[in-house]
Structure 1
């Protein structure tokens, strides 16, 4: 059976990215997403890195990765794994949770990478399937709000609570913000170090300590995010690659496949098909 990854966008919350995937040999490099990763394993098992260690997610378990958190992924069973996932942005989570009576004080943080909650796993699977197929707006939106609120209530804590989350010093936050805001910039380590007020050695060491990747690898992730935005805007793949800061289209293709499990061309085609069918 061939591997497949289908990305879709639901209209809810201003545009909610969804993924339906079936992998046999796919190995994800360490990468991050702007949004949370909330997934349910439908068959097989996945092994992935998160929060400084490796974890196994078997069938019917929920995978939770916080926004901008470094993680990876590969098969943990002989037949690979299949799953569905959604990627709500932090601001989208805040929109859902802003009026909850038991609202957390701050952005939700999921401490456990894998949770066993059969009832909620079933609801998550049904939600994503509904967003893929149903045109009933009231049903879709109701399910999104209910699922995310329950997930946070049961399995999240506030970043203000005692938790294994240590905020990076302002100097490192400044360097990270520059890479996020200027992903295509041809920035040298010397220039980035001067911006942060750190020596090159300390910048590389501390950046990886706090953000999980050294600056040059994090820059690739920022460029991939920008490239996705350009592709959704219907830029050509060659133009998106250059504008996002990659050497050429093949350079973007290689990193795109390793981080997202699909090619830029497939991603562009799926987005065009979604728009045509909307």
Structure 2
């Protein structure tokens, strides 16, 4: 990732809600999936989002959305600036009429008023004061956003957020996910994790990918990055964090960090 400015901010009082504010960032994200709904607005430059081998070019002023659990890839051909809002699945589900997770059939949203509303949202969410002062404008925005979800269509497979539930609909996957998390710092073989799930390696690989948008190895790498983030926030050194999550050295952690988050750990730590 090129030099620029990137801020990653947890919204006070709203569990799991996070803002990512980037200015002049030039980055390339490897294939990944989010366990929440991501909504963004491009302020400058160009962002290319690839979903299911189809690339979409997002231009300044365009609002874009990434479905929960959707495997995708992002890159920018040059420096670009954007703001992204990450919404936990539980919050999104709570605002749906029947508690299902929404599915957006288009990556971009053509709604100038909604884009204007989104542009002002970060300022409201970062404002100090009672939680209600942040929760109400967020809820109003999400309700308007959900009007653009495909009517009568509930997300399914990886896009359904089964990755969020992490196997709540399939106890075998839940066992595998728990095993990967518990042993994230160890070298894991596909056959070993498949055995925990009681499935053949091939069947398990397909089922896990379909449910989470990630292969078991990719899931382990993201779990290592997640644990490393927690350790780095506690103030330990990069080298110590790398060893604690099972990397042979800090350069290996930097590689998987870049692959998952599109930035080096040192940049992330300074956000």
- Post-superposition Cα deviations, 1:98-149, rounded to whole Å, max 9, x if no partner, equal xxxx7244123333222221111111121013334x2244543321121112
Quote the residue 2:73 is aligned against: 72
For normalisation by structure 2, the TM-score amounts to 0.81
Quote the residue 1:135 is aligned against: 128
- Post-superposition Cα deviations, 1:136-171, rounded to whole Å, max 9, x if no partner, equal 445433211211122123336576478995778834
Q: CA deviation at 1:46?
A: 1.0
Q: Which runs of 4+ in 1 moved over 6 A?
A: 161-164, 166-169
1:158–1:21: structure 2 CA closer, same or farther, 3 Å change rule?
A: farther
C-alpha distance in structure 1 between counterparts of 2:88 and 2:155, whole Å: 21
Give yes or no for contact 2:242–2:250 (8 Å, CA) kept in 1. yes
For normalisation by structure 1, the TM-score amounts to 0.79
Please point out which of 133, 137, 142 is paired with 1:148: 142
Give yes or no for contact 2:32–2:73 (8 Å, CA) kept in 1. yes
Q: CA deviation at 1:235?
A: 4.0
Quote the residue 1:45 is aligned against: 46
- Unpaired runs of 5+ residues, structure 2, are none
- Unpaired runs of 5+ residues, structure 1, are 271-278
Give yes or no for contact 1:46–1:80 (8 Å, CA) kept in 2. no
Aligned alpha-carbon RMSD (Å): 3.1
Give yes or no for contact 2:242–2:253 (8 Å, CA) kept in 1. yes
Q: CA deviation at 1:269?
A: 3.1
- Listed as ranges, the matches of 1:259-270 within 5 Å are 259-270=260-271
Quote the residue 1:84 is aligned against: 83
Quote the residue 2:202 is aligned against: 201
Give yes or no for contact 2:69–2:213 (8 Å, CA) kept in 1. no
Quote the residue 2:223 is aligned against: 222
Give yes or no for contact 1:10–1:131 (8 Å, CA) kept in 2. yes
Number of equivalent positions: 262
Q: CA deviation at 1:45?
A: 2.0
Give yes or no for contact 2:67–2:103 (8 Å, CA) kept in 1. yes
Quote the residue 2:101 is aligned against: 107
